[in-house]
Amino acid sequence: MGYPEEALAPEERLLLHRHPHWKMLFWPAVTFILITALAGFGLGVAARNTEGGLASGLLIGIGVLWLVIVLWRSVIPLIRWKSTHFIITDRRVLIRQGVLTHTGIDIPMNRISNVQFRHRLFDRMLGTGTLIIGSASEDPLEYDDIPHVQQVHAMLYHQVFDVVQNDRDGGYRGSAETYP
């Protein structure tokens, strides 16, 4: 799996690795389609109605404008989506984001005090939602657009319960259960 494997400690098992839900890419895709259609129309109009240097300048200007908008509104969100990782192991929850500036947070399982999820009607239709992780010492952390948030919530809850139970029993076993 590449990146998550490098973030794991020895003998730590990867249980889940996800990127945010694809709904984050909906508006960038719509933008790409619309701006490409508009640029194509503009190129056609400019090529038919102008000649010489003016035509070349308009064609280059439209092409540069298309490229800037596509990079800004479509490519950058795609890279942001691809470089965001939500990872659950048998010992901790990891969140990694960023391309040029990397940010991350690790939450040990034994520090998690509660796990909640929230999804509205539209989120339920798409199979996504917000995962809320309460830590013993901090305000709850909210992670939006987690695919299959109910399954992730259940897995994380069981994993936290196993860690707490094993800490009480004096041994660390972790859960062998994995989820999609």
Residue 159 in this model has a pLDDT that exceeds 60: yes
The pLDDT of residue 173: 47
Contact 167, 173 (CB under 8 A): no
Contact 130, 147 (CB under 8 A): no
In degrees and rounded to multiples of 5, residue 16 shows phi and psi of -155, 135
| Entry field: residues in the chain | 180
Residue 26 in this model has a pLDDT that exceeds 90: yes
pLDDT tens-digit series, residues 122-145: 999 999 999 999 987 778 889 999
Contact 109, 92 (CB under 8 A): yes
Of residues 70 and 11, the one with the higher pLDDT is 70
| Nearest-angstrom CA–CA distance, 30 and 77 | 12
Cα–Cα distances in angstroms (integers) from residue 147 to residues 3, 75, 93, 114, 163, in the given order:
19, 21, 15, 19, 24
**pTM for this predicted structure:** 0.78
